[in-house]
Amino acid sequence: MTAVFSFGHFATVLLVLAASTSVRAAGREAEERAARKACLSGDYVKGVEILSDLFIDTKDPTHIFNQARCFEQNSRCEEAIGRFREYLRKATDLSPADRTDTEKHIADCQALLDQRKPAPQAVVAPPTPPATAHGEPGPGASA
């Protein structure tokens, strides 16, 4: 009878662990969905915050990439570039295609930033005062 109890106890523990893992996974999926929704609706602060919590909990660098995409989707290119670069540092097992894709996102963001920079202003010299009839500088001109 003791062996049956031990097996039953073990089976119960396994079921509880499986249920707990399932609940955590469902909770994580709900958080990921909430982050996507926030980012897509323009609330990048909330989306990035949720993704930060997910990264802290899981240590999965995909959440850093998703932070970058959230910034990028909301025209926050400087922040996006920083997060894409952090993703490249943290995701040590990236495929060449994923690395190339991430680098393209960085280049796209940089191109948008470059387009937004104002054109350099030409330096205009102050006007010279008109000369008088005798060829001397007019009033207000320094001698």
Q: What is the pLDDT of residue 26?
A: 77
CA distances from 101 to 65, 69, 117 (A): 11, 12, 25
Task: Give the span between the Cα atoms of 37 and 41, in whole angstroms.
Answer: 6
What's the half-sphere exposure (Cβ side, CA atoms, 13 Å) at 48? 16
Q: What is the pLDDT of residue 113?
A: 96
Write out the two tokens for 55.
């990264």
pTM to 2 decimal places: 0.68
Q: What is the pLDDT of residue 121?
A: 74
Q: What is the pLDDT of residue 52?
A: 97
Q: What is the pLDDT of residue 18?
A: 53
Q: Which of 81, 82, 84, 71 shows the shortest CA–CA distance to 43?
A: 71
Q: What is the pLDDT of residue 12?
A: 58
Mean pLDDT per segment of 10 residues, for the chain of length 143 residues? 54 52 75 96 97 96 98 97 98 96 98 87 71 61 55
